[in-house]
Amino acid sequence: MRSPRESYDAATRELTAPFAVVDLAAFRANAADLAERAGGTPIRVASKSVRCRALLREALGLPGFAGVMAFTLPEALWLAADPDGAVSDDVLVAYPTTDTAAIAELAADPRAAGSVTLMADSVAHLDLITRAAPDPVRPIKVCIDVDTSWQPLGPRMRIGAHRSPLRTPAHAAALARAVLRRPQLRLDGLMAYEAQIAGVGDAPPGRPLYGRTLRWVQNRSRRELAARRAAIVEAVRGVAEVRFVNGGGTGSLHTTSREPAVTEVAAGSGLYQPHLFDHYTGTERRPAALFALPVVRRPAPGVATALGGGYPASGAAGADRLPLPYLPEGLAYSPTEGPGEVQTPLVGPAADGLAVGDRVWMRHAKAGELCERFAELHLIDGLGTDEARVVRTVPTYRGEGRTFL
């Protein structure tokens, strides 16, 4: 049986690097793992972590997945109005929008207005929507976003993302009443995404004490949020019924899905399994998305220089945001150059086994951001066998001329 590197190389021998691939078997296995962890609670696919319509459709065709969580309203309109068949007729925009032209477009299209739900966490958002769409063809659906940060000592000690200002049942109920006072709007759902749990690996390598502390913090945050989320849902449903209550992410499906107040969870990164998501306890996912760089120089013993590769991920700057040299094993970045805009020197024992024209296989730190660097994804099936091959090549958002952020 071929090694993983041999299998990747054989399947893509006709391609010219740099290029990106997705292992379909790993993608589907990762989806099955996510669905199992969700325990029957539907998973809304986070499009920012996929950024490829063909693979969004692939995920939505698998058991356990329903609906899309988009990251901008123009993207949501595009996914809901695809002339080749909408990716989904249930698209939640995960972040508030101030794109008044897109809101007006939504308000004028009855199909889009029936498929897309906007996010709001303040009266300012509601006022902006109604100013942009004073007379929509049908009421615009709105989801209320709730703060999930853990604040054990009050606002001065915040553990979690800076998202919504709505924190209490009273806050959420007040905004729900504000939605009802506007005939242009309809209350559709609630969202409460616990970034400090879902997006932070609880088993950091080589840091066992920090890992134990992190798991303690996450457990305390989880308990506090479960009680508060249930109270918020009850308060809002005392004002008006909502179609869904969304929570969770790739790293917290197994706990968030158990909360009776939650009707759906969200995930996306776990489908590609970028390296920032390697360090969670109890996961069995494998890398599905990789990119290949060509070796173009051998400047010295123990050094192989690849073309391109400087694709850092968003977030707080640090070494963990850099792509990870994956295959062959035993490569690391040059400490004086790192991954560069046009070249990436790689050092280590494996470098001397590389020749000009060979490939180095890399993993991105995050999931969908890889697709902002490549116009196509080459989908591979049969890896690990003599039948490994590219079965299809599909465009990313970038490849379709779409760069929403």
Domains and CATH numbers, the chain: 25-272 (3.20.20.10), 289-400 (2.40.37.20)
Query: Residue 391: what are its φ and ψ, rounded to 5°?
Result: -95, -20
Q: What is the mean pLDDT of the segment spanning 186-204?
A: 88
Ordered alpha helix ranges (H), 61-207: 73-80, 100-108, 110-115, 123-132, 169-180, 195-198
Q: What is the mean pLDDT of the segment spanning 26-42?
A: 96
| Average of per-residue pLDDT values in the chain | 94
> pLDDT band at 150, cuts 50/70/90?
confident
Q: What is the mean pLDDT of the segment spanning 336-359?
A: 96
> pLDDT band at 33, cuts 50/70/90?
very high
Q: For residue 84, what pLDDT is reported?
A: 66
Q: For residue 139, what pLDDT is reported?
A: 98
| CA distance readout (Å), 364 to 69, 129, 370, 372, 399 | 21, 36, 6, 11, 18
Q: What is the mean pLDDT of the segment spanning 154-162?
A: 86
pTM for this predicted structure:
0.94
Q: What is the mean pLDDT of the segment spanning 350-374?
A: 97
Alpha-carbon distance of 91 to 77, in angstroms, equals 9
Q: What is the mean pLDDT of the segment spanning 110-128?
A: 97
Q: For residue 218, what pLDDT is reported?
A: 85
Residue 97 CB neighbours (<10 A): 20
Strand partners for 391: none
Query: Which has the minimum average pLDDT: 68-82, 110-124, 146-160, 351-365?
Result: 146-160
Amino acid, res. 310 = G
Q: For residue 83, what pLDDT is reported?
A: 63
> pLDDT band at 82, cuts 50/70/90?
low
